[in-house]
Amino acid sequence: MSEQSSTSLWVERKPSRIRWSAVLGLLVFYVVLCVVFSVLSPFFLTLRNFSNIASNMAYIGIMAAVQTALIIGGVMDLSMGASAQLAGVLVGILYGKGWNIWVAVLFALLIGLAIGAANAVSVTRIGINSFIATLGMLNVAEGIALVLTGGLTVSILVPQFQFIGMGAILGIPFPIILMASFFVVFYLLLTFTPFGRAVYAVGGNPVASRLCGINNARVLTVLFILSGLAGATSGILVASMLGAAAPAALSGTILTVIASVILGGTSLSGGLGSVWGTLLGVLILGTLTNGLVILNVSSFWQEVTQGLVLLAAVGIDQIRQRRERA
């Protein structure tokens, strides 16, 4: 049917609002999920519990907000979780060597930035597919974290540093504030700046975007650097929450990150998506885990449920899109 798009018939079609309806659908799903859990357990529907959910998902949310921008831009960063891991480990090791904790944090952020820059070079200069380039980087960063620690956990018990993961401002846990600021900043960036528009353009049709005078390579470079920084931020947050950095604590988180983005309705083919959908995706996955824990469901079954929810959500969205098209 794709050839039909070139004929005048399409004028008659309803303007598609697929993506917003996807977000709306998720919202409904989220509410239903909450209702079900609150019926099943008296401990679920409390402010404290929801604050817990959000705090626990903050490190995923930070990465997911940025990953959304990357996927809209038609690329992906699989190395985010590994950058997070390496950043956490670095803070621990450097602090152990007597560095000031904030200098160690700054250094870890710089390493995140460097990882992002390296990814950008692989993708934009050398032309490696972003999936492969960042998969390679994932292994490199994770490997370095293991080498540096010898596979052991490094403890970081500094009261000021604990604030990042445990503190609160006006009663709001700091991780939530951190995550919220990432979402707001990326919302503003993607919606209200020429850069954000360029991100959609590069993901939507790189050839046309270049012919509009957009420097695709520059856009992608900025995205990858932001991604490295977000990874490092996440890693620092987790290290602070746990009071320690374990070299393997975050393997696998990248899959949850990507699952949240896709669940939120961002198209893997680029050019379409929003951070608010992703936020809902993050909350749904977080709430699901939380509710199942409260109901004493084994963590193995939690995995299964998460997978099924992702498949169901994306599947339903696909079916609806096909129906709107037909």
Partner 1 sequence: MGYLEMQKIVKSFSGVRVLDEVDFSLDRGEVVALLGQNGAGKSTLIKILSGFYGKDGGRIFINGEEVHFRSPAESLRKGVRVIYQELEVFPDLTVAENIFMGDLPATRFMGVPVTNRREVCVRARELLELLGEDIDPETPVRRLSVSAKQIVEIARALAKKANIIVMDEPTATLSQKEVERLFAVIRRLRDQGVGIIYITHRLEEVFTISDRVVVLRDGKNSGFFGTRETSWRDLVQAMIGRTLEELYPKRASSIRSEKVLLRVENFSIPKYLESVSFTLREGEILGVFGLVGSGISELALGLFGALPFKGRVEVDGRAFTYPSPSVAKSLGLGFIPADRKQEGVLPELSVVQNITLASLESYCRGGFLRLRDERSCVREWVRRLNIHLRSIDQPIKSLSGGNQQKAVLARWLATNSKVLIAAEPTQGVDVGTRIDIYHIFDDLAKRGMGIVLLSSDLPEVLALSDKIIVLEGGKAVGCFSKGEADERTILYLAMGGKEAVTH
Q: Which residues form the interface with partner 1 (CB under 8 A)?
A: 1, 3-16, 188, 191-194, 197-198, 200-201, 204-205, 207-215, 267, 271-272, 326
Cβ-count burial of 213 within 10 angstroms (0-12 exposed, 13-18 middle, 19+ buried)? exposed
Smallest distance, partner 1 to C-beta of residue 19, A: 9
Smallest distance, partner 1 to C-beta of residue 210, A: 6
Of 169 and 325, the one with the shorter C-beta distance to partner 1 is: 325
Of 10 and 300, the one with the shorter C-beta distance to partner 1 is: 10
Of 134 and 266, the one with the shorter C-beta distance to partner 1 is: 266
Smallest distance, partner 1 to C-beta of residue 18, A: 9
Smallest distance, partner 1 to C-beta of residue 171, A: 31
The string of DSSP codes covering 260-282 is HHHHTT--TTSS---HHHHHHHH
Of 157 and 326, the one with the shorter C-beta distance to partner 1 is: 326
From 188, 296, 291, 225, select the one nearest 70 (Cα to Cα): 225
Which one-letter DSSP state was computed for residue 316? H
Give CA–CA dist 161/96, Å, rounded.
14
Give CA–CA dist 96/316, Å, rounded.
50
Of 2 and 296, the one with the shorter C-beta distance to partner 1 is: 2
Pair 175, 169: CB distance under 8 Å: no
Smallest distance, partner 1 to C-beta of residue 13, A: 5
Pair 12, 4: CB distance under 8 Å: no
